[in-house]
Amino acid sequence: MAALNRPTPASLHEYIWQQEKNSRSQSPLLLSPEQILRYGAIVGSVIQCHSSMDRTMDQARQHISDLEKTGVSVASGTVILADTLIRSKGRFARSWHAPLGGLWGCLILADTFLTRARTLLPLTLGISCCEAVRELGADKACVRWVNDVLFSGQKLAGFLVESFHSPHHDETFHLLGFGININNTCFPDDLENTAVSLCQILGTPVNLHDFTLSFLAKMAWNIGLLAYEEEQELDRYYSSEEEKSHLLLDQWKRLSDTLGKRVIYGYDIQKKPQYEARVIGIRPDGALIMRLDDGNEIIEHSGELHYL
Amino acid sequence: MSEEIDFDAILGKYHSDPYSYIEICATQTGRVSFKIAEGDTVNSPSGEWLHIPGSQLFEITRERNPKLVTAKINGTISSVRTELEGQFVEAGEKLLTIRHPLKKKEVIEGILKEVLYLFPAPERAKYFFSLDIQSRIEKKGAKALAINPGDEIIIMSLMKRDTPIYYTGEAGVIHSVYFTPGVSVDQGQPLIGVCALDKLPLIQKVITRVKADWDKLSDPAHLEE
């Protein structure tokens, strides 16, 4: 059966170089949007559209392996989309409900990043999604560290990033899985009060095809920012210039409501919440700085939060 | 790993000097200012989440950017290079030594680390066993779990990016687990200690022998449980 949501590399390219470039040109950044978008141009170099599959992350791994068997490398920036997922899951094998109407997929990126960019890579998903839903009018959408997107405390989107070492060429790829509730409005009982879709927020159905293009275009921009900052970092390394703020982190701060919040932290918060603290900052490597009730600070590079 | 272990020699070494000596080096290039003197007692990080820093050791300042270095382990300052006070030092320069009194458990771990294959953490991150390995450990215990080179055994988690870690050491069973899920592990620190299946009885013999002999021979003033 043919997929319902069928964006193509050509339609994405057109969207990026018209809508996305124009909207970024109006932002106050003293940057050339063309330069950033060129850096991120690999996103959507190939787009596979499926009506249904088990999991897009598994499909990505299989796709990489299958191509390598024939002596070919996968195109970095390949996007795999499915109208519905049968066996989707979140982190720690948590279930994820992925019926028709949502945006479910995976972006494959070859590991061409330096350490800092690799560490910040998961932020690009939350930022891009938050930008895309705000653009449609969901102004109150915010990013919760690391990259959950919430609207009035309810989860609108969740993301998974997994690295994969290919079996034949021994190359490393990052698989960026995304699940965004768009037009799906029914959730399982256990998610009924904690999940929300964009359609429910806006009170009207959303054009899934257009949203997909917008989200992927923003991924191209934000991955472009990572690459741009990498270049700047290397320039500073050779010129001994002082470190400046990171454009991707700056955008994360603009879109996130985590800073200043009182939270419960846990590595796997559903199974084992660990402690309460107040978030007081984010470090240049994306790590969260929190203050405990005894006044001491603690820094976490990984884990999950619940707002109190 | 040798089939024959000279227990008397190993235990004798620990009994004659039941301490480890940890050299602390400059973490970055800069001007150093010591916060301790020889003979001072220093504490390790404490608190439920080890969030209360250990004793202050020195401050090192580069380009008006001071960085305070604190003790990661408890003990006594056995030497300080006081001639470097206020001087500009290179990163990696040895600055002081902490004499750390060993507990019985640390002695056993110390011996085991010499005889097990230690699989190190590739980056500073949080680690957990892969789901398959975790369920097998829960069913049978780690020591009944054979692992081989190439097995996906551990997941490294950094900023919600999960990376499978493939085992690269010799085939064997997981004898010691050095990480706790949810607690960060520094790059290079061991994650697991692996023992070849046929060497397992020998390892058990080491532990039994240390446990039995240590208390009998030790000077209680030196040792902590």
In tens, the pLDDT along A197-236 reads: 999 999 999 999 999 999 999 999 999 999 999 998 888 7
How is residue B210 written in tokens? 């240390």
Number of domains in chain A: 2
Is A93 in the same domain as A191?
yes
Is A218 in the same domain as A105?
yes
What's A153's domain CATH number? 3.30.930.10
Is A99 in the same domain as A183?
yes
Q: Which of A176, A199, A234 is the last residue of a domain?
A: A234
Q: Is position A247 within any domain?
A: no
Query: Which of A240, A301, A304, A305 to mutate to probe the B interface, most B CBs <10 Å?
Result: A301
> Is any Cβ of chain B less than 8 angstroms from the Cβ of A276?
no
Is A171 in the same domain as A280?
no
pLDDT in tens, chain B (225 residues): 445 667 677 778 888 888 999 999 998 899 999 999 999 999 999 988 888 999 999 999 988 889 999 999 999 999 999 999 999 999 999 999 999 999 888 888 888 887 889 999 988 889 999 988 888 888 888 777 889 998 999 999 998 899 999 999 889 999 889 998 878 888 899 999 998 888 888 788 878 877 777 666 555 444 444
Q: Which of A234, A268, A295 is the last residue of a domain?
A: A234
At A281-305, the pLDDT tens digits run 999 999 999 999 999 999 998 899 9
Instruction: Strand A288-291: give its sheet, edge to edge.
Output: A297-300, A288-291, A275-282, A262-266, A304-307
Query: Which domains, ranges and CATH numbers included, belong to chain B?
Result: 19-101 (2.40.50.100), 104-217 (2.40.50.100)
> Is any Cβ of chain B less than 8 angstroms from the Cβ of A275?
yes
Domain that holds residue A206: 9-234
Q: Evaluate if pTM is beyond 0.80.
A: yes
Is A203 in the same domain as A301?
no
Buried b (16+ CB within 10 A) or exposed e, B132-170: ebeebbeeeebbebebeeebbbbbbbbbbbbbebebebe
Q: Is position A225 within any domain?
A: yes
Residue contacts between A and B (CB atoms, under 8 Å) = 75
Identify all chain B residues contacting A174, using CB atoms and an 8 Å cutoff: 161
Chain B: closest CA distance from residue A267 (Å): 5
Q: Is position A239 within any domain?
A: no
Distance CA A71, CA B50 (A): 50
At A242-274, the pLDDT tens digits run 667 899 999 999 999 999 999 999 988 888 899
What's A302's domain CATH number? 2.30.30.520
Q: Is position A114 within any domain?
A: yes
Identify all chain A residues contacting B48, using CB atoms and an 8 Å cutoff: 275
Identify all chain A residues contacting B160, using CB atoms and an 8 Å cutoff: 91, 122, 146-147, 159-161, 302
Is A126 in the same domain as A262?
no
- Supply the pLDDT for residue B224: 47
Q: Is position A57 within any domain?
A: yes
Chain B: closest CA distance from residue A137 (Å): 28
Q: Is position A276 within any domain?
A: yes
> Is any Cβ of chain A less than 8 angstroms from the Cβ of B182?
yes
Is A65 in the same domain as A202?
yes
Identify all chain A residues contacting B157, using CB atoms and an 8 Å cutoff: 267, 302
Quick check: B101 and B18 in contact, CB under 8 A? yes
Is A55 in the same domain as A110?
yes
Q: Is position A244 within any domain?
A: no
Q: Is position A205 within any domain?
A: yes
Name the strand (E) or helix (H) holding B135.
helix B131-140
- Supply the pLDDT for residue B223: 47
**ipTM of this complex prediction, to 2 decimal places:** 0.81
Chain A: closest CA distance from residue B188 (Å): 16
